[in-house]
Structure formats: C-alpha cells, structure tokens
Amino acid sequence: MVSQKVKIKNATGLHLRPAGLLCEIAMKYGCKVTFHTGDNYEANAKSVLSVLGACVKSGEEIELFCDGADEKEALDDLVSSIEAGLGE
C-alpha cells in the first residue's frame, strides 16, 4: 500500500464535476483507491457518491491510499490530477 497527502486546489472543492473526474481516473486502475479527510472520513475514490459524501472543501488536505498491483501508477496519476485542479 502507498499513500500521499494532497491539498485540494479547486475553488469549490470536490463538487460533482471534479469528483466525477477523480472517480474516472481511479477506475482506470485495478487497485483499491480510498482517501481520508481531516475528520477521519474514509471515501472510496471509485464511487462518486462516496467522494461527494466526504464534503471536501477548497484548501483541505486529503490522504490518498492505493493498495494493489498498480498502486504506484494510480497514486502518481491521482496526485498529479488533483494538483492540476481536476480539469478546472
């Protein structure tokens, strides 16, 4: 398992559009992808409802966890996408 903390840069946090993109990226990989928020909420990054349920605001830090065969590639892709603003 690999993990990394990353700060959400989107002005409106992880609302529907960036949450959908995050899930789309996570689903490209076979490993389990989750993240934890500051208040210890654990979200399945492959589920839009789970990501939206985390209520992640702009400026908050999440910790991504990837566990499986392609975990390193998944983590690198997700972190770079989040740091780039998830298309916004």
Number of domains present in the structure of the chain: 1
Residue-wise pLDDT tens digits, 24-56: 999 999 999 999 998 889 999 999 999 999 999
- CATH number, domain at 59? 3.30.1340.10
pTM for the complete prediction? 0.92
Q: How far apart are CA 52 and CA 21, in angstroms?
A: 12
Residue numbers of the domain that contains 32: 2-84
Percent of the chain at pLDDT exceeding 70? 100
Residue 60 pLDDT: 95
In SS3 terms, 14-67 reads as: CCHHHHHHHHHHHCCCCCEEEEECCCCCEEECCCHHHHHHCCCCCCCEEEEEEE
Contact 64, 72 (CB under 8 A): no
